[in-house]
Structures are given as C-alpha cells and as structure tokens.
Amino acid sequence: MSDWKTCAVSDSFVKNNVGRRNQIPAKDIASVGRFPVVDQGQQFVSGYCDDTDRVIDFDLPLIIFGDHTRCLKYVDFPFILGADGTKVLLPDKKIYDPKFYYYALVSLDLPSRGYNRHFKSLVERCIPLPPLPEQKKIAHILSTVQQAIEAQERIIQTTTELKKALMHKLFTEGLRNEPQKQTDVGPVPESWEVVEMRRKWASCSTAGTLSFNDELLGMPQDLGDYVIVHELLHFPVPNHGKLWKSLMRVHLGEYESLVNRLKSYN
C-alpha cells in the first residue's frame, strides 16, 4: 500500500452525458413506476417514474454524490436522477475500476457543513490509485463484505418486524386468544392485571394470571419490554434455566444489560 500512487478526485472522473433532461423534480417522483429514481437522500431509491425520455441507461456504472447530504451511491442499472443537489461522477476507467473508485470515495472523511454544498470539498481530496488488477481484487473483497452486511441487516430487520408482530399479538390476545378488557394502561388480555406492586415489577401466577407494576408506565420502553417478555416466557418455561435464557436472547438480544439498568430503579 505504501507504493500506491494517489490521484486528486478532480482528476479521477471524466465528462458524462447526463443532463437536465435526465433529472426529475421531487414533486414528480411517484411511489410506483418502471424506473427507480436515485437522488441525494439516505434511501438508495427515493421513488419511481415512467418517463422513458429521462432514463439514464448509458455511461454506467455511475457514482451519485449528494452535494448537501454527502451520500454516495454506486448505480449500475437504468435510473432517473433526482434533480436536487445531485452530482454525477463517471470514473475514468483508464485508471480506475468503478467499484473500487466508489469505495475509495466512501472512505473519505468529509466533515458536514450542514445543508451547504460539499462537492468542492470532495474534489479537493486525493484518493489511492493502485494498479487496476489490484483495484479489482480489493473491490471484489469489499463487495463481498458489503453483501454479507446487507444480508445480516435484512435478517435483523425481519427479526425486528417478527418481534413487533408477536408482541402486538401477545398484548391484544395474550397466549389464549382471549378477549380484551380496558385498563388504565389501555386494552390488555382479560387475564392480565395492572396492579400496584412494591417489591416486584411483574409476576405470573400458577393459574396463568399476569400482573404488572404500574410504575412500568414511567420507565423506558426497552425496560418495559424486558419485564413483559420475561413474564410471558414463563408460560412455556416456568424457570430461569438455559432454555428460558436462550429464548430471552432470541427476543431481546443481550438482555443482561437491561437487567442491570432495571436494578437502578429499585
């Protein structure tokens, strides 16, 4: 790496053929359509459009830089460009592999200037310029890592949505699909009770009745979730053994930190 040359960002890209005809104002972006719209926002795709005259299906892949947001996006599919604050970079393929070029730009630390423009700061920087074969190898490795990260994020998102759905079902139907009753904290399953408790945050009786300390209402939500999940898991597992701990981790992750925080409320 010490033998790598560097290149000014201002010298690293060439003129592209994207023009105003390919841009779309934010007000014209639809929620569905044939072609994705890529702008400077945090979401990779901000919406869609059916206007074939605006489509960018040339000079690909391109790098989109958010002049206000500093977001960088690697786009290798036909798309339409969001009009506000987007800069389009076509890497000079004589010296740069496009994917490596994208990762090199992402690695730059550009301090935020609020909603001011940042492109001038970007082009004043320098990025590494390894030999092209080495660039391709590096880009392949980084792409593989990025795909693994994205796959893990999708799993986490799916697990989070499943947990929310399960919690909603438990709060509205309990474990027996039972009717609800109104309480001071809102509707809960008929067998649940909200009572004043001095020494416990919650309890689960042998008859299956759940009771919760009303002070939970004033506590952070993640601590309340811990108490509720803790008690609900005692229906299938009446102790705090390995199975119960494993189920707690499935629902709450490393829940031990929540236990320690909850102790500070005693």
Q: Which domains, ranges and CATH numbers included, belong to the chain?
A: 5-150 (3.90.220.20), 174-263 (3.30.2010.10)
The better pLDDT of the pair 244, 50 is held by 50
Question: What is d(CA 216, CA 226) in angstroms, rounded to the nearest whole number?
Answer: 11
Residue 221 confidence (pLDDT): 78
Question: What is d(CA 92, CA 74) in angstroms, rounded to the nearest whole number?
Answer: 15
Whether residue 145 is predicted with pLDDT greater than 90 in this model: the reply is no
- Which tokens go with 233? 């898991």
Banded model confidence at residue 35, pLDDT cuts 50, 70, 90: very high
Mean pLDDT estimate for the chain: 84
Least confident of 46-60, 109-123, 187-201: 187-201
Whether residue 183 is predicted with pLDDT greater than 80 in this model: the reply is no
Residue 122 confidence (pLDDT): 95
- Listed in sequence order, the DSSP H helices in the chain are 98-106, 119-123, 132-173, 221-232, 242-252, 256-263
C-beta of residue 34 within 8 angstroms of C-beta of residue 84: no
Three-state DSSP at 192 gives strand
Contacts of 108 (CB under 8 A, 6+ apart): 9, 122, 125, 127
**Among 215, 189, 218, 217, which Cα is nearest to 204's?**
189
Looking at residues 38-47, what average pLDDT do you find?
93
Residue 108 confidence (pLDDT): 92
Whether residue 33 is predicted with pLDDT greater than 80 in this model: the reply is yes
Whether residue 140 is predicted with pLDDT greater than 60 in this model: the reply is yes
Whether residue 222 is predicted with pLDDT greater than 90 in this model: the reply is no
Looking at residues 138-160, what average pLDDT do you find?
79
Q: For a pLDDT cut of 90, what percent of the chain falls above it?
A: 45
User: Residue 79 has what DSSP assignment?
Assistant: B
Banded model confidence at residue 241, pLDDT cuts 50, 70, 90: confident
Whether residue 198 is predicted with pLDDT greater than 90 in this model: the reply is no
- Which tokens go with 256? 């031990």
Residue 225 confidence (pLDDT): 81
170 alpha-carbon distance from chain centroid: 26
Whether residue 195 is predicted with pLDDT greater than 70 in this model: the reply is no
| Buried residues in 195-215 as b, exposed as e (16+ CB within 10 A) | eeeeeebbbbeeeeebbbbee
Both ends of the chain: CA-CA distance in Å? 55
The better pLDDT of the pair 140, 216 is held by 140
For residue 49, the one-letter residue type is C
Contacts of 85 (CB under 8 A, 6+ apart): 39, 40, 66, 67, 68, 69, 117
